Structure 1
Amino acid sequence: MLIPPNHPAIRTMGRIDDADPSRPIWVFPYTQARFRCTGTSVGMRLVNRRDYGDSTIGAVIDGVQVRARIPVDDEPVIVPFADHLPDIEHDVIVFKRQDGEHHLEILGFIVDDGAAVASPSAPEPMRRIEVYGDSVSCGERNEALLYTGQADPDVDLSPYSNAWFSYAAIAARRLNAQLHDVAQGGAALLDGIGWFNGPDYTGMESIWDRIEYNPRLGASRSWDFSRYTPHVVVVALGQNDAHPTDFMADDYDGEQARHWRERYGDFVHALRGRYPDALIVLATTVLNHDAAWDRAIGEVCAGIADPKVVHFLYTRNGSATPGHPRVAEHREMADELATFLEGFGERIWR
């Protein structure tokens, strides 16, 4: 039996293009749908639009996580998650593991014929977080556990990308908060540098206010900010801006570095314009990078002089690993970020 994606029992989270509610499009990592059902099997029907990488999708069924590979692109396909389950009520969360390397057109969720479908038993969290980031915020390559603390091997690790275990998602679950993970692997702050969508390169300044933004997967679409107002915004950008040249480290007072700091300040002001009351946390991550980037962010933060714009550094900021952080390092970051936010008390969630 096919449950349509706009069934009233299904609760969604994340920036979703639902211009056609019967065929919504998921782009950002950790976008998800949650529901309960009876029966012995769970799957979904979708169309995968892929730019690069090996596309997978995740599910958590009764607390057990499943990774499923999407076998074909550009045509409807059924992706099974579990069968031979006990014929009891199940809690189901289906989520997007990867970033905008692919889009998912959701056609529905598959359960047994005659199965009962109900809304999640847990209430929707009242707290709301939004993260603007790059591959680390996506959880890119974080399941390559044998390479913890090491450089990435020179192979395609896209199936090992799992947004569920990103620091952003782990921290949000610990804080019982919703999360919009507006993150894209390879994205710098600025267009024209970084790693995403080369050789022209698309930065977060052309992603942050979009639902869809990958030019190789279709037209750009704007996001309606009235649909989600976060209490906390985390900006975790700056590491990919060091490609192709690390201008902040090479010439901190040079024109390019000063221009970046100005544009970073503009980005923070744009966020404040959208979210007048949010706590805005400026950060990078534990991935190795030159400390000049954190100095720059701290300088911009001080210049903004807004008591609800703060600069946060992890204990091993910029020094924990030459490769993408793995799950253990994401847990480390999540614990520190959640503890930092808890220090503000309940007032930031009002």
Structure 2
Amino acid sequence: MFELLGIVDTAKICDRILNSVEMTLVAKANSTKSETSSLIAAEIPESTGVKITPDNDNFNYSGRVNWEDSQAPVFSYPGKVVEFRFTGTSLKIELSEDNWGGENYIDVYLDDNPQPVTIKLQRKWGKSVIYNIASSLENKEHNAVIVKRTDYVAGGFEFNSIIIDGELLPANPDSEKKIEVYGDSISAGAVVEYDRAGVQDPEGDKEHLYNAYYSYASILARSYDAEVSLVAQSGASLIDGFGYWHRGTGMEAFYDKSAPLDDAPLWDFNNYNPDLVIIALGQNDSASIKIGEDLTAEAWKDRYKQFIANLRAKRPNAYFVGMFPNMYHDREWDVYLTEAIAEYRQEYNDDRVFSLIHQQVTPGHPRISEQQMMADTLRQFIDDTLIKNSFNWSLAN
């Protein structure tokens, strides 16, 4: 699935330009979320107001963030979130793009508006860019959520500051429900916003159609009012040396990293303690590994079991669901996965690990409706099978 790399032709996602005194907005065409188009905030040359740096305690971060520089934390994985509350009449955000990937997109949700402002990050080779998100707001309390739409196919970005003309308020408390997901492009929400379901992906550039906010994992988390951490990367296989991501870098090599690279800084697992861990890997293994030539089925299952064991050492209290998503693949791999989990349960005497195989519905990446199907199936599985086996949402606490 690494073949999704490409440079986005802006003309494909923009159909009109609206000019105003405060900023230029580009309306995105063909939105699958509502009849109202999302907006892409253009760069503005200068700003006024109070600049607040990302190390302020009133920012609430979800997912893996690299804090090596407290003034410029790095967002690499998809679906990473920073949420905050503020007063005043305007909001600007300052970001730096890392300049090497495809086109990087961010969504900013403001107050109760379900339609976000979408930012296509500008490449300034290390120089930060200030984007105008909103002006002429009512002078009252506001809530904002910044979401990284794209995975590391498009690279990462640094969060440098927000600029407001009011006050940053204490953050909303974290949810007591936490989910962690290890997956590939399906979990990352690749091509979810394409407007045709059940078909192959469109030709050409696709990053503008990525949106981790509409992956099954994010949908599932919102249905429970839970927090989610997506450790997902397009093209990634479970087994290192296969798949389609960065010279065959597999989840085995980066599951414990702050970015999907084998040489990225290590992640401190103590920073996030999930109640539920979802392992949605195998799609790229099935497409790139020839069983009987590259590996035996037993060898793949052993590696899968070892991966679960590695995660169990980090997540001693969590329930695990190993699943195959609903994109077409060789059905024999469903057998390998379910057998691996059954063998793991017996060999490790671990009854908190379960398997789930979704019905295959599409030859292309799942769209929003097909991601919703997986979220619904997972919710039913959690509310029925897991709860009957003593799962609850306070395990991490």
Whether TM-score is above 0.5 comes out as yes
Structure 1 residues 283-328: Cα deviation after superposition (integer angstroms, max 9, x where no partner): 01111111111110100111012210100122x2xx2111111111
The higher radius of gyration belongs to 2
Contact 2:108 2:145 in 1 (8 A): yes
Residue of structure 1 aligned with 2:219, choices 155, 163, 170: 170
Residue of structure 1 equivalent to 2:122: 71
Matched, 1:342 2:383: yes
CA distance in 1, matches of 2:215, 2:136: 30
TM-superposed deviation, 1:147: 2.2
Structure 1 residues 213-242: Cα deviation after superposition (integer angstroms, max 9, x where no partner): 437xxx521011111121110000000013
TM-superposed deviation, 1:263: 0.7
SS of 2:98 mapped into structure 1:
strand
Residue of structure 2 equivalent to 1:128: 178
Residue of structure 2 aligned with 1:265, choices 269, 280, 305: 305
Contact 1:70 1:79 in 2 (8 A): no
Residue of structure 1 equivalent to 2:88: 39
Aligned-partner residue type, residue 118 of structure 1: L
Matched, 1:204 2:251: yes
Matched, 1:19 2:89: no
Unaligned runs of 5+ in 2: 1-49
CA distance in 2, matches of 1:175, 1:94: 20
Q: Percent of aligned positions with the same letter in both sequences?
A: 33
The CA RMSD measured in Å over matched residues stands at: 1.8
Residue of structure 1 equivalent to 2:240: 191
Structure 1 residues 90-111: Cα deviation after superposition (integer angstroms, max 9, x where no partner): 1101111111231111111122
Aligned-partner residue type, residue 271 of structure 1: L
SS of 1:329 mapped into structure 2:
helix
Residue of structure 2 equivalent to 1:310: 354
Residue of structure 1 aligned with 2:188, choices 116, 138, 142: 138
Residue of structure 2 equivalent to 1:233: 277
TM-superposed deviation, 1:82: 2.5
Contact 2:97 2:122 in 1 (8 A): no
TM-superposed deviation, 1:255: 4.2
TM-superposed deviation, 1:161: 0.8
Residue of structure 1 aligned with 2:329, choices 269, 285, 289: 289
Residues 347 and 299 of structure 1, relative CA distance in 2, 3 Å threshold: closer
Q: Note the 1:151-170 alignment, pairs <5 A.
A: 151-170=200-219
Question: When the two structures are aligned, how many residues end up with a matched partner?
Answer: 334
SS of 1:36 mapped into structure 2:
strand
Instruction: Normalising by structure 1, report the TM-score.
Output: 0.90
Aligned-partner residue type, residue 163 of structure 2: I
Bigger shift: residues 27-36 or 42-51: 42-51
Contact 1:29 1:97 in 2 (8 A): yes
Aligned-partner residue type, residue 90 of structure 1: H
SS of 1:212 mapped into structure 2:
coil
Aligned-partner residue type, residue 67 of structure 1: T
CA distance in 2, matches of 1:84, 1:143: 30
Aligned-partner residue type, residue 364 of structure 2: G
Residue of structure 2 aligned with 1:243, choices 268, 271, 287: 287
Residues 304 and 214 of structure 1, relative CA distance in 2, 3 Å threshold: closer
Unaligned runs of 5+ in 1: none
Residue of structure 2 aligned with 1:96, choices 136, 141, 148: 148
Contact 2:99 2:123 in 1 (8 A): no
SS of 1:311 mapped into structure 2:
strand
TM-superposed deviation, 1:33: 1.0
Contact 2:95 2:130 in 1 (8 A): yes
Residue of structure 1 equivalent to 2:35: none
Contact 2:236 2:244 in 1 (8 A): yes
Instruction: Normalising by structure 2, report the TM-score.
Output: 0.80
Aligned-partner residue type, residue 151 of structure 2: D
Residue of structure 2 equivalent to 1:61: 110
